[in-house]
Homo-oligomer: A and B are copies of this chain.
Amino acid sequence: QSSVTVYGRLNVTVESVKHGDEDRQGEVNNNSSRIGFKGTEDLGGGLKAGFQIEHGFDPTTGTAASTFWGRQAEVNLAGNFGQIRLGTFTPDSYYATSDYIGMHNHETGDSSDALYGFSTYVTQNKVGYVTPNLSGFQAFISVAEGVNNPDPTPDLKKTWDLAAYYDAGPLHLGAGYSKRDEEKQFAVRGLYEFGAFTVGGLVQRVSEPVIGDRTYFRVSGMYAFGANELHLNVGRTGEYSDLKDTDALQWTVGYNYNLSKRTKVYGYYTKIADDSGIYGGDFNAFALGIRHNF
């Protein structure tokens, strides 16, 4: 009766990487490989119960993520009213914006977006609600548990996360907002398909308690022909209002060859110019990879 689906992805690259002034080095790297289990039960009357648990691991070393089911661990109940979710899950504000336009390698590994503001990215102890899809519009809201700490440790405040999607033919829009106490981020995203071309863009405004505000822009483009895809990705953040010279730039060119819907081989070059070191420092990598979904 029970029907559990086992699914996942292995995504491994062989890279030549260079950190700052260090020697260039050969590496075998993981790009967010994972395995998961999921299932849905039809309860009748339009009601459905479901679960999904997802585990990240590094196939280059065999190492499990330190929080084993940290990618996702939720139980949910859905009906005409929408969906209620309990547990551990990725902020929908991230899926609706940065992840959505990360087309060349699923926002994973060394070429994923390094400059998006992650300080309000909370996955644990969450309750969420998803609206039904209303003519292409869908909204997500969730709140993560706060913690009453004994004095003098400050309490950890609740984190709120909102996201919205709107799809109309070739046009795809999204927005995300997160807030925990004084930390905030707000982003809007667009993606447009015209024939073989797909173009996406993102603007994010980030507020941090000490270092102040900054604005981040990103554009991504894909040209697809047959089994081939050519990709370009450029992201640029301005400096924090109260921490000067923290602007940074990342750009990536990529090529994918789709052996099937599940399997591709690919190559990319990515470069981060980050003089301040606040986003990990100057970095570049040439990579060849294989991604296999199952």
Contact = CB atoms under 8 A, between A and B. Distances in A.
A72 B57 CA distance: 12
B43 A53 contact: no
A137 interface: no
Contacts of A281: none
A73 B34 CA distance: 11
Nearest to A147: B25
Nearest to A75: B10
Contacts of A51: 10, 292, 294
A63 B59 contact: no
Contacts of A50: 292
Interface residues of A, number: 67
Interface in A1-47: 2, 4-8, 10-12, 14, 22-23, 25-28, 33, 35, 37, 39, 41, 43-44, 47
A62 B57 contact: no
Contacts of A228: none
A69 B292 CA distance: 17
B148 A25 contact: yes
Interface stretch (A101-109, A112-120, A244-252, A255-263): A255-263
Nearest to A265: B77
3 closest Cβ pairs, A-B complex = A64-B68, A59-B73, A10-B75
